Structure 1
Amino acid sequence: MAVRLPRPHRFDVCAALAGLLGGLLLWGIGLATRPADEPIVLLDGRWPILLPLTLMAGCEVLRRTAPRTALLTGTAALTLDTVTQGSVATLIMFTDVVYAAVLYGTPASARRIPWITGLLTVAATVVPFAAWRVPEALLLGVAVGVVSFAPASTGLIVRNHRDAAEAARLRAEQTALLAEMDRTQAVVAERARMARELHDMVANHLSAIAIHSTAALSLDDPDTSKEALSVIRENSVEGLAEMRRLIGILRDGSGDREPAAAPTLDGLGALVDSARANGLDVALDAGHDQVPAPVELAAYRIVQESLTNALKHARPGRVTVRLARRDGSLTVEVSSPYGDRDGPRAPGSGAGLIGMRERAALLGGDFEAGPVQDPASADGRMWTVRAILPLSEGDPA
């Protein structure tokens, strides 16, 4: 199967036509580079000039699509031109072919051609001068340098600048891509953080509202209904306050008031009291000292979500919350009665466990949740949530 060469560039075709027409014009008026009586002129007469001129014009057409072929053919055409009276147009087109071979050729050609033309220039300078011992012999080296080494060096300089510009463009595109990836990851991380905060802040209150509203609707007891409505109102107000705090965080303090401070472990007592008001039998054992703020927030949210899950899923019985600082970490453990029941007292999405695991992972900690055997339990099983949150060095003890 024949290999089809790429279509020549329009500029190359125009350059070839301009060189050919210029050479024909010089040929028509009888202007040549050498007189007919020089010893080097082996092909006397005007007509032999046209053959290397036409070949060089064809090389100009291939200067971009096949630079190596153009250079080899052009070198042969220039050699043929030296045994005729010669044409200035042929020399000018050859310099452009050398320039294009370096600029558009392979990287190996771009490295070798300047070295080869440089060595030829040195040889054309030293050898004739050593043989003839006349200053005029140096002009031969100058001519070879102007025709070959100068365009090759120019092509190498232009190619280096072009490659540097392309590398800078690629680096700019890569930097923009990395910046976009960082922005996307930051947005995803912020959305995940907002989802955790929203879930942890309102899930407890909404679960209590759902459970007590169900009780109020199912029991025909005015006192029970009144108590349930009181709990519903209390959780509604607290949930609304938490939502306002989250909105304040999202607005970055641009509202009338600064957002409230993030919850700390000092608020665990109020959290447990709220869980007791919602019907849980909770025991708190918070044996811990001061811990860093990120660890405090994560521990508080893990306890909050665990109590919410106990409210929705646990069987009746004692729920135990334990916090202890040991071995450079804060251990949070929440245990609740585990066993079969008709179904959850309030609907859930399953995002709570995911959020707790993410909070522990962000601090480099460990998280596990599942049923464990407990002889002290009525049926021998408890649902235990355990998170180990590392403390950074230098925190106050």
Structure 2
Amino acid sequence: MKVTFPHMGNMYICLKAMLNYLGVEVVVPPPTSKKTMVLGVQNSPEFACLPMKVNLGNFIEAYEQGADTILMAGGVGPCRFGYYAQVQKEIIEDLGLNYKMIVLEPPQKHISELLAKIKEVADNQSWLRIIKAIRFGWLKAVVADRLEQSIHYLRPRELEQGHADQVYQKALHWIDRAESPQELADVEKKIGEALKKVAVNRNRDVIRIGLVGEIYVLLEPFVNLEIERNLGKLGVEVERSIYLSQWINDHLFMGLLKMKSSKESKLMALPYVNHTVGGHGQESIGSAVIFSQQGYDGVIQVAPFTCMPEIIAESILPTVSRDKDIPTYTLIVDEHSGDAGVVTRLEAFVDLLRRRKNYKEGTKKCMDFLG
């Protein structure tokens, strides 16, 4: 059995660690690229979700490298994500690819449902071994998320542009190569030392933007056209509404782990939408409210074209913007999106936020002087 899975940000590091710990041979798809996109788009229904198309491209490329089993997450509720695996399975069969698909459905009542699926992949290894493997993959997700948050802070403040990203790529490689929890702990210390060497101007006045939206587009840099890196170059510190470790806790571990979850954002969304709308639509609204309370200068919603939950959120965000006095902008991406057009729009939004911030600060100083 040679197992593969779709790319979604740094998820490959966590899944690879878990499966290797269980002695499973892993075929990591090539990094998502234009070729991946073309393969997925050519073989998918025209109005299918963009993430489904890209995932399919990942599977086709992994098959070319010898993969024979797909590990795919499932979903429930009013979102097309729950249908991805079934639709992809039909397409893969039509293409004549000899794949076995194992779907990790969100456990409805007991986490044992999820563990049983993993046991199937792990050739019936002991429950203790499986739990240790899951924990190891989980620890890598946590370390990778902490690294991302540090890079978000450093990018707009670094004195040598690109230095933080160089450290980021090296650090991901270190995390990926760690073969035990103890080695991972040593790697985290090593990362901390490397991050300290990035020269920064901590007094630099930066714009702070909260990113909300659909989880896949938020996490996968190729699909969101490197929005975090591009904003960093524009002097923006970003913070995402959701990270991989949180998503794993919410959707696979049923929120059992004691860490930040989507509960707070759902609670904050209640005045605007008091029921689930699928995907992360409700969380996008609630997270925008939270970012306004935390003093962020603006919010950017990132979503794939035709995503129903995010369309609902997009229609409500202007009301949140007015009520909470925080500018919002929605970036819709599909297979036709281009770097230049997206960067131009980001530059315009950041310029608006910077002028707005300067005006508010200038007005406050004037009032203080007169008062």
Structure whose CA Rg is larger? 1
| TM-score w.r.t. length of structure 2 | 0.23
TM score, norm. by length of structure 1: 0.22
Of structures 1 and 2, the one scoring higher in RCO (CA 8 A, sep 6+) is 2
